[in-house]
Amino acid sequence: MMDIEKIAKAIEVDAGESLPDLRESLQEMIEGKSACIHTPEQLMVRATRKKLGLSQSHFAQLIRTPIGTLCDWEQGCHNPPANVMCLIEIADKRPDVIREVLL
């Protein structure tokens, strides 16, 4: 049997931060409930959006991305590109800057 907590901690150490939905995603993967696998980047997109208190629609507008693309990232179907991850990291670490510049 896989030790989800051990795997999650290793991923979080590698990501350099806590990833709130990681354990749930790993459990879904093990149980075969999810066709997609969530990467730390995909989990960070969702966590950052929630941290900012924005709906998917508003967050997609904020980062100038089609909502379908954002949904694909959050559902684990595709990875966000590096330039988007740079913006997401800024939004996560400095939401005040994102609000000042983009909202």
β strands within the chain, DSSP E? none
Domains detected in the chain:
4-102 (1.10.260.40)
Helices and strands counted in the chain (H then E):
7, 0
The amino acid sitting at 28 is: E
Residue 76: the pLDDT is: 80
- Angle, CA 14 vertex, CA 21 and CA 36 arms, to 5°: 45
Distance, CA of 1 to CA of 53 (rounded, Å):
36
DSSP state of 64: T
Residue 82: the pLDDT is: 92
Contact 39, 79 (CB under 8 A): yes
Per-residue pLDDT of the chain (103 residues), as tens digits, is 578 888 888 887 877 778 777 788 778 777 766 556 678 888 899 999 999 999 988 999 888 999 889 988 888 888 899 999 999 999 999 988 888 887 6
